Amino acid sequence: MELEQSARMREEDSYLANVFQRYPVELVRGKGAYVWDSTGKEYIDFMAGYGVALVGHCNERIVSAIKAQAERLITCHCSCYNDVRLELLRRLVSVAPKGLNKVFFCNSGAEACEAAMKIARRYTKRHGIVAATNSFHGKTMGALSVTHASKYRDPFKPLLDGVHFVPYGNAERLEALLEEDGSAGKSIGAVILEPIQGEGGINVPEDGYLPRVREICDRYGVLLILDEIQSGLGRTGRLWASEHWGVVPDVMCIAKGMAGGVPMGAVIARHDVMDALKVGEHSNTFGGNPLASAAAYATLECIIEDGLVENAAGIGRYLKDGLLALKERHRVVRDVRGLGLMLGVELRFDVKDVLMDGIAHGLLMLYSGRNVLRLLPPLVIDEDIASRALSLLDTLLSREERRRGL
């Protein structure tokens, strides 16, 4: 379905860099799992700012924390100490995977991956890194180097050298590569993986994969970096997606919803790994600022104290069961996959028409590649919202089948 742009949308396009896949909707307000456009139309938001509205739009805890901190101190560079930053550090380390107790703050997921790669190189003194096919770690030059899609990579080559890609889910290929590298003198220092691939299609590995990768990395003296930017902080029904398989990384990247919508990212690592960086070797201006720290602390409190991890697990099962039922009814659906509230619906055709039709019917969704609907709703959704979304999807899939003559 083609939706017409308003004059205001066209004006924004005239100023903004033409680098975003844009949706013809002007959002002006949000609350919980709902957003409203400039005409007052309501939408169920299963886009959530690409997963950023993790604890819901304008969550009261986050709003109160931001208001209070904005009246005290907005900026404080990490060259100075800060009370709110310390509180966040204590809380973050207390819930991080066991043994990860040193933190570097930044402003986004791509920045977190950049920092993790530098940390790994500094610690191991090796420049090589292994990533997976269908991976996505960001679009800055270093993060792009370990992002697999050629449509992102090719226009900006040459990228970092020493990057190797192995099939996601295939531990044997990883082991063979590290064995070959060891025979050639050990240039590879790290492996970077998403526990569940997001942009690549909501790909969930088989149960033995991540534990095997952990064992292989230990055996070959290679750091394991897990990118939990999209999958972490409760989205999959565990606080960290790696917990589903009992795996603890050496380095972990987080971002997206960690500050309830305020830009923030972080790298959490073992202290010996993080301490490989020396003063001045990596820093930034805004990382760990008091405003973002206050929002992030409130976000963690919300996730843990309000039971959002458990809600993601329970409502995630309800939603996935509903999606599987839709798969049985609609020939256009090829597969349903994911954990918790990180779900993908693979169609037999391009999803663009379904996405645009969703906007017309009041449901905002994402895509992963050309044919996967990506659902990243706020963790505050309940069965009523999930049921409404399933009903809308049922309608959208029926309309798509009629368009396709199925």
pLDDT of 405 over the 90 cut: no
Are residues 316 and 296 part of one domain? no
The last residue of a domain, from among 250, 283, 305: 305
Residue 271, in any domain of the structure: yes
Are residues 211 and 86 part of one domain? yes
User: Which of the following is catalytic: 45, 136, 181, 250?
Assistant: 136
Are residues 363 and 282 part of one domain? no
The half-sphere exposure of 160 on its side-chain side, counting CA atoms within 13 A, is: 23
Question: Tokens at residue 120, please?
Answer: 């790994």
Are residues 159 and 74 part of one domain? yes
Scored b (16 or more CB within 10 A) or e, 115-128 reads bbbbbbbbbbebbb
- Does the annotation count 227 as an active-site position? yes
CB 378 within 8 Å of CB 48: yes
Are residues 325 and 228 part of one domain? no
Residue 376, in any domain of the structure: yes
Are residues 268 and 187 part of one domain? yes
pLDDT for the residue numbered 184: 86
Are residues 84 and 29 part of one domain? no
Are residues 301 and 152 part of one domain? yes
Residue 374, in any domain of the structure: yes
Are residues 278 and 130 part of one domain? yes
Neighbours of 23 (CB within 10 A): 17
Q: List pLDDT tens digits, range 16-70.
A: 999 999 999 999 999 999 999 999 999 999 999 999 999 999 999 999 999 999 9
Rounded to 5°, the CA angle 322-323-324 comes to 90
Neighbours of 196 (CB within 10 A): 25
Q: Residue 337 belongs to a domain with what CATH number?
A: 3.90.1150.10
Rounded Cα gap, residues 210 and 168, in angstroms:
10
CB-based contacts of 218: which residues, under 8 Å, 6+ apart? Answer: none
Q: Kindly state the average pLDDT of the residues 390-406.
A: 95
The last residue of a domain, from among 305, 339, 365: 305
| DSSP-assigned beta bridge partners for residue 226 | 193, 252
| DSSP-assigned beta bridge partners for residue 347 | 333
The half-sphere exposure of 74 on its side-chain side, counting CA atoms within 13 A, is: 4
Residue 173, CA distances (Å) to 161, 249, 304, 374 in order: 20, 20, 38, 28
CB 250 within 8 Å of CB 116: no
CB-based contacts of 180: which residues, under 8 Å, 6+ apart? Answer: none
Range of the domain at 358: 7-55+307-404
Q: List pLDDT tens digits, range 55-112.
A: 999 999 999 999 999 999 999 999 999 999 999 999 999 999 999 999 999 999 999 9
pLDDT of 2 over the 90 cut: no
Residue entry with tokens 């019917």: 361
C-alpha 280: how far from its chain's center? 28
pTM of the model: 0.97
User: Which of the following is catalytic: 45, 46, 102, 256?
Assistant: 256
Residue 101, in any domain of the structure: yes
Instruction: Using DSSP, state whether 32 is helix, strand or coil.
Output: strand
Are residues 234 and 106 part of one domain? yes
Q: List pLDDT tens digits, range 240-276.
A: 999 999 999 999 999 999 999 999 999 999 999 999 9
Residue 353, in any domain of the structure: yes
Residue 139, in any domain of the structure: yes
Helix axes 308-329, 290-305, angle to 10 degrees: 70
Q: List pLDDT tens digits, range 191-206.
A: 999 999 999 999 999 9
Q: Kindly state the average pLDDT of the residues 286-301.
A: 98
The last residue of a domain, from among 305, 323, 340: 305
Phi, psi of 57 (to 5 degrees): -70, 135
Number of domains in the chain: 2
Q: Residue 96 belongs to a domain with what CATH number?
A: 3.40.640.10
pLDDT for the residue numbered 185: 87
Residue 1, in any domain of the structure: no
Question: Tokens at residue 179, please?
Answer: 């064995």
Scored b (16 or more CB within 10 A) or e, 272-310 reads ebbebbeeeebebebbbbbbbbbbbbbbbebbbebebbe
CB 385 within 8 Å of CB 311: no
Residue 2, in any domain of the structure: no
Q: List pLDDT tens digits, range 154-209.
A: 999 999 999 999 999 999 999 999 999 999 889 999 999 999 999 999 999 999 99
pLDDT for the residue numbered 388: 98
User: Which of the following is catalytic: 227, 250, 320, 357?
Assistant: 227
Are residues 114 and 185 part of one domain? yes
Are residues 287 and 178 part of one domain? yes
